[in-house]
Amino acid sequence: MNELLDTKPYVDLPDALEYFNEIAKKLEGQRPILFLDYDGTLTPIVSNPEDAVLSPETKEIVQDLAEKITIALISGRDRKNVESLIGLPNVIYAGSHGFDITGPNGMEKQHEKGQDVLPALDEAERSLKDSLANISGVQVERKKYAIAVHYRNVEKEFVQQVKTAVSKEIEKQPELKKGKGKKIRELKPDIDWHKGKALLWLLEELSSKTDQLFPVFIGDDITDEDAFQAIQDRGIGIIVGSHETETAASYSLENVEDVNLFLKELKKMLN
């Protein structure tokens, strides 16, 4: 992640629900676009990623909001995976931290250099599955443009072994770089592209010279900091919970339940 422009401890951030009126004033006269992470934001983080299913209530809120403003899901998950989990046709889906984007009206972008890294990802996937085969609870999840190694269900004494295996594989694959998250290590293309760059691309793609979009991004993890940084001087970033570092977000929400409440308030404001 790039050095952040202005980071703050979580305790110094105003709560987005308590300060919703302040946020509403910032949105007055603007055309908002809402960017959302998935895991830890719209759904709680769970032991098995496949069990992170969107609740009917949250899906309804997102669906209602998508009829009023543009919504884009920017997730570390594979794009097809997060698209199937949300299941709404009028939403933009950016998977693998923005390397794979599709949306309404034929929108489609796959990072041109991402394709070149696929053989390295294939090799790393095979190698990691072999080297980690004897560690109970570890999950090696292949996405099109990344590999996620989950160790949430690994016994504490073996966690370092998982991290070491990922680091060794990174050393073998110069085309890849390491990413961090909550109980996860990722192998990603060593390309200057991330959630923040994808967000800015979408803003440029969807805005016009006379009609600029005002971005609001809600996310919970270290990988979301790139997006918070990207909009720090032109939008609103809201961090859910906390992670290992300080944040470039402007406001905070405590958990997924508070995200739901915030989205409901946003819906009321837009009515």
Show which residues are catalytic.
37
What's the CA gap between 241 and 221, in Å, rounded? 9
| Cβ neighbours of 12 (radius 10 Å) | 10
Phi, psi (degrees; rounded to nearest 5) at 220: -130, -10
With CA atoms as reference, report the closest residue to 170 among 222, 243, 223, 117: 117
Cβ partners under 8 Å of residue 82, min gap 6: 38, 73, 75, 93, 95
What's the CA gap between 230 and 233, in Å, rounded? 8
CA distances from 251 to 14, 40, 147, 193 (A): 5, 16, 30, 25
What's the CA gap between 223 and 35, in Å, rounded? 14
